[in-house]
Chains A and B, each alone.
Chain A
Amino acid sequence: MVEKSFTITDPAGMHARPASALVGSLSKFQSDITMEFKDKKVNLKSILGVMSLGVPSGSTVQIAADGADEAEAMETIERVLQEQGISNE
């Protein structure tokens, strides 16, 4: 399993557009991928799950990928978060 923390820097927080881009980029992976915020963990392949966290700007989320293609999945996550300008870590 790979795990990483990200700080959400977009002033509007984790809103629909970057969330859509992130979730949309993950459907091809077999690994289980989760995002955790404030003790709530959701399936990162679920747009409704991600939106339901209501992650505000400045907060930190933990993302974990577990499975055969976990490393590749995490690379994709980092790239998408950066491309979307939502996290620069």
Chain B
Amino acid sequence: MNRISGIAASNGIAIAKAFRLENPELTIDKKNVADTQAEIQRFGQAVNESIAELEVIKKRTAEEISDKEAAIFGAHLLVLEDPELIGPITDKINNDSVNAEFALHETSTMFVDMFEAMDNEYMKERAADVRDVTKRVLAHLLGVKIQNPSMITDEVVVIAEDLTPSDTVQLNPKYIKGFITDIGGRTSHSAILARTLEIPAVVGAKSAMSSIDNGTIVIIDGLEGEILLNPDDATLAEYKEKQTAFASQKAEWAKLKNEATLTKDGVAVELGANIGTPKDLTGVLENGGEAIGLYRTEFLYMGRDEFPTEEEQFDAYSAVLKGMENKPTVVRTLDIGGDKELSYLKLPKELNPFLGLRAIRLCLEMPDMFRTQLRALLRASVHGNLKIMFPMIATLDEFREAKAILLEEKAKLEAEGVEVSDSIEVGIMVEIPSTAVMADTFAKEVDFFSIGTNDLIQYTMAADRMNESVSYLYQPYNPAILRLVKTVIDASHKEGKWTGMCGEMAGDEIAIPILLGLGLDEFSMSASSILKARSQLSRLSKADMEGHTEHILGLATSQEVEDYVKNL
């Protein structure tokens, strides 16, 4: 039995066969062929097999995921039918008496180079499409199998070097019991996705791809970040027991689904969920979420070729607001840039994307895009309890400008006779230290704060949260962070406003008692953490925790805070 350690990314125990999501190297040798007609036929056969395969993938993607995602494969099918690609390849086989692999490679390389040479990010992406399609045909010619996550129909644990957004859209939780990636951290997209899908995951496992064979029985302990390979019977039994215990604990928590969140001393706090798409609503409702503390709208913009239209956005926002049946729903306006790119946005590469043109900065730079989103939000506002939140606010001027644009769009809609809610709260994410420090000033103008801890920690510690070499600086319990959080909460309360938290920290077992003592009003987390948090809060007394606050804030290190809270 072997053991690999990684970063615990999503809770629970998964036991299943390993499925390696490979990226095979396809080598192409130039060969002379005597029978060119037979070679052309072999090529045609590989194309047809690829078409048949893509048809299945497209159909399955449309059924299991969405038509929009399936459209990617529609474009790939057209490439395989493209006379400007197929014609030159058969000509080349015929005229130069070369093998199909070589002719395909030469011709497709021409297109890849052409797209890559274009001075346009979107077109450069098309080079990837051509490569993708070429690879599929090559694989058929060479008899190598290419995997598509959407084709997995066995219960497996996926092992991959990394999962790209396009891989992840094809993951069906019905079959994927968990996943392990070589790279990534707790806040990488694949980790967030795992928590949303509620499947156990270990990321940053480094040697998973090099040491796990297909079909190996794998145990993922998503709580401890442990991976066990080929477990002996005793270990298997032990983990099956843990799996059962986890399931029964979940069942225990499930009883709290319709209960209010009350501390032991009877103080009510609000437990919200972070979501990415209207699909995630199910999880929020099943886990008894009292609010949506963060709706990440950027997923509407990602994995596609063009901006979502106002109508598309209106539909998505309305669906969420209606689904929440008047419970508070905080929608964050587009937060793109940093580690999240949009190919069609054609933004120049930045040296420090996390410090660059992202989130509200980008929206203010591209007001048309921003206004479209705001209009869609305002129109949807009559369907529920909408709160609008601007991300990455660094200065009061940015907030004022964003709010002015919002009010302009509201006035325009009303002039057009469109009904807009009159009780939309407008708040900001606090994720930049400058804003946390100036919270007293902001509190006079905003309706609420939501503390985004992942970025607040990153910017306060000056440590890139995607960089594993400095991951030790991701310290939610560092007194520096806690003092900033206190500043924000106190400032909001002084002005009669409320503060929520929508980072990873809000659902963290160690952080929850501290945040309760600091007076946090709303905790927003992965839907799957809500019931556990409700259970924990019911055993905590707010008055007690307030009594510990001063001591905690006076501690010197993150470790001291952690040790103190654990021993309470």
Contacts and interface: CB of A to CB of B under 8 A. Distances in A.
A45 B307 contact: no
A20 B74 CA distance: 8
A67 interface: no
Contacts of B142: none
A41 interface: no
A11 B307 contact: yes
Interface string B341-371: 0001000000000000000000000001000
A88 interface: no
Contact of A51 (B74, B123, B344): B123
Interface string A1-19: 0000000001110011100
A73 B432 CA distance: 56
B305 A16 contact: yes
Interface residues of A, number: 20
B50 to A, nearest CB: 15
Interface in A35-57: 42-43, 45-49, 51-52, 54
A46 B82 contact: yes
B251 interface: no
Range, interface on chain B: 20 to 34
Interface string B289-310: 0000000000000000111000
Contacts of B129: 16
Nearest to B110: A48
A20 B307 contact: no
Interface in A58-79: none
A80 interface: no
B83 A46 contact: yes
A15 B118 CA distance: 14
Contacts of B199: none
Contact of A54 (B82, B85, B123, B368): B123
A51 B71 contact: no
A20 B71 contact: yes
Given A10-B306, A48-B85, A48-B111, A15 B122 contact: yes
B449 interface: no
Nearest to A21: B74
A82 interface: no
A24 B115 contact: no
Contact of A17 (B118, B123, B305): B305
Interface of B: 71, 74-75, 78-79, 81-85, 111, 114-115, 118, 120, 122-123, 126, 129-130, 305-307, 344, 368
Given A10-B306, A46-B82, A54-B120, 11 more contacts: A11-B307, A12-B305, A15-B122, A17-B75, A17-B305, A17-B306, A20-B74, A24-B78, A46-B84, A47-B79, A47-B82
